[in-house]
Structure 1
Amino acid sequence: MVQAVHRAIHVLRELATATPRLGVTELADRIGVAKPTVHALLRTLESEGMVVQDRETGKYRLGPGLVTLGNAYLDSHELRTRAVTWADLLANQAGAAVWVGILTGSQVLVIHHAFRPGGSVQVLETGASLPWNACAIGKAIAAFLPAERRGELLAGELARVTGASIDDPGWLATQLDRARETGYALEEGELTLGDGGIAAPVFDRSGEVVGGLGLVGPVERILAETARQECAIAVREVARSLSRDLGAPRNAGLRAAG
């Protein structure tokens, strides 16, 4: 491990969680290194556009260079590239927003967001990082992971985003078992009160789960008794089509050991 690179990444991560900016002393305290070292790291990162300094306060925040890197990552991600058409198809079919996400650590990174049809004002969620246990996509992915990895997630920190968020490992394990049986996972008010989600796993040519695709919207629209089954079937079928587009074998999902 190259220490300087590790420290620079640590600085960027601290700035990503800071509100709204951090100074040299604050960063030095957070990452446990001397102020001159942090100052040198910040100057280097600033020269590359990775951080910018507020001229009035002298504090630092993330810079525009990271947007370029993030966009390049998304543009080169095979799942996102192939998911765009399928996500748009599902959004139009169900009349709801569609997210496509991948698991990074214990978070789900939204790599594509197809807006709900209708032209109403909506917030683009691409790039959002969500606790795996509080969203349907995270549950759909976790349900089809190898047993050891699934166990690590259940044994780790389980975030409570709303009062409905589930932080009981046993309850979550039951939900994951159910998702393996049905091919899709549900979330009701666990990420945003009043909203829910239905998501299914997506597999690649190796047969391993690489992400998830799901509907997101008002509970009464997608989780009501009259709509839930229809939406769930649509999500599962589109996810299967996307998996086939990625070269997944027909028995994908059966390989993930329970």
Structure 2
Amino acid sequence: MIQSVQRAAQILRELAATGPRLGVTELAERIGVAKPTAHALLRTLETEGLVVQDPESSKYALGPGLVRLGNAYLDGHELRTRSMIWADALATRVNEAVWVGVLTGDHLLVVHHVFRPEGAVQILEVGATIPWNTCALGKAIVAFGSEATETELLGGELGVLTGASVSDPEVLAEQLADARSVGYAIEDQESALGDAGVAAPVFVRSGDVAGAIGVVGPVERLLSESRREEIAVAVRETGRNLSRELGATRGHTRRAG
């Protein structure tokens, strides 16, 4: 492991998590290095466009170069590319917004977002990260992923975004087991009050979970008795169709490793 690269990555993570701006002294303390070392790392990152320095405060913030890297990641992401047609079709079928996400550490990263066809003004959520346990997509991925990953995540820090967020490992384990039994996971106002989600896993040829696809929207529409089953069926079928396009067989459920 190259220490300078690791420290540079730590700086970027600190700016992303704490932001919007931090000074050299603050960053040096946070990553545990001398001030001159932090300054040298920041100047290098600034040269590459990964951080920018505010001329008035002399503090640093994330730079535009990260946007280009992020877009390149999304453009080259196979699940995102393959999911576009299926996500559009699902949004049209249920008349709701659709997200496609992947697991990055203990968070769900939204890699594709289709707006609700007949909705009002909506905010594009591509690039958003959410604690895995507070959203249906994260639960779907963990429920059908490896047992080792589930154990690790249940034993780690569990995010809380609303009063409905579930942070009890035993309750979450039951929810994951329920998701495996029906083929989809549900979120009920756990990441944002008033919103809900229904998501299904997406598998690849190896049997691994590549991510998840799901419907998001107001809880009164998604989880009402009249629509919940309809949406769940549509989401589950879309997940299976997308999985087949990625080479998965019908028999995939989860991996023990």
Verify same fold: TM over 0.5.
yes
**Deviation per residue, 1:96-139 (Å, 9 max, x gap):** 11010001111001000011112521111000110000000010
Question: For the residues of structure 2 that align with 1:120 and 1:150, how far apart are their CA atoms?
Answer: 37
Matched-pair contact (CA < 8 Å) for 2:185–2:200? yes
Query: Do structure 1's residue 97 and structure 2's residue 103 form an aligned pair?
Result: no
1:214-256 per-position Cα deviation (integer Å, ceiling 9, x unaligned): 0000001111010000000000000111001101112112x42
Aligned-partner SS, 1:206: coil
Q: Supply the AA of the counterpart residue of 2:2.
A: V
Shift >3 Å, 4+ stretches: none
| 2:245 matches 1:256 | no
Looking at structure 2, the residues matched to 164 and 171 of structure 1 have their Cα atoms a distance apart, in angstroms, of 12
The DSSP-based 3-state class of the residue aligned with 2:158 is coil
Distance in 2 between residues matched to 1:131 and 1:157, nearest whole Å: 9
Cross-structure match for 1:192: 192
Inter-partner Cα distance in structure 1 for 2:183 and 2:250: 14
% same residue: 64
The aligned length equals: 257
Aligned 1:238-253 pairs, distance under 5 A: 238-253=238-253
* 1:130 corresponds to: 130
Contact in 1 for aligned 2:87/2:114 (Cα 8 Å): yes
* Whole-angstrom distance in 1 between the partners of 2:34 and 2:50: 21
Q: Deviations over 1:24-68 (max 9, x none)?
A: 001011111001011111110001100001001000000000000
Q: Which one-letter code corresponds to 1:80 in the other structure?
A: R
Does residue 144 of the first structure (1) align with residue 144 of the second (2)? yes
> Partners of 1:227 and 1:6 in 2: how far apart?
48
Partner SS for 1:120: coil
Q: What pairs up with 1:18-37 in 2 under 5 angstroms?
A: 18-37=18-37
2:69 match: 69
State the secondary structure of the residue aligned to 2:226: helix
TM-score by length of 1: 0.98
Deviation at 1:257, TM superposition (A): 3.2
Q: Distance in 2 between matches of 1:227 and 1:116?
A: 16
Q: Measure the CA separation in 1 of the matches of 2:59 and 2:165.
A: 35
Shift of 1:92: 1.0
Decide which moves more: 129-138 or 13-22. 13-22
**2-structure distance, mates of 1:249, 1:203:** 8
Structure 1, unaligned runs of 5 or more: none
- 2:209 aligned partner: 209
Q: Which residue of 2 aligns with 1:223?
A: 223
Q: 2-side partners of 1:48 and 1:119: how far apart?
A: 40
Aligned to 1:187, the other structure's residue is in SS state strand
1: CA distance, partners of 2:218 / 2:115: 14
Taking structure 2 as the reference length, the TM-score comes to 0.98
Report what 2:236 is aligned to: 236
Following the alignment from structure 1 to structure 2, what is the Cα–Cα distance between the partners of residues 207 and 183? Answer: 15
Which residue number in structure 2 is paired with residue 179 of structure 1? Answer: 179
In 2, the alpha carbon distance for the partners of 1:119 and 1:225 equals 21
Give the residue type in structure 2 aligned to 1:176. Answer: L
User: Which amino acid counterpart does residue 78 of structure 2 have in structure 1?
Assistant: E
**Cα distance in structure 2, aligned partners of 1:18 and 1:157:** 18
3-state SS in 2 of match to 1:100: strand
Structure 2, unpaired ranges of 5+: none
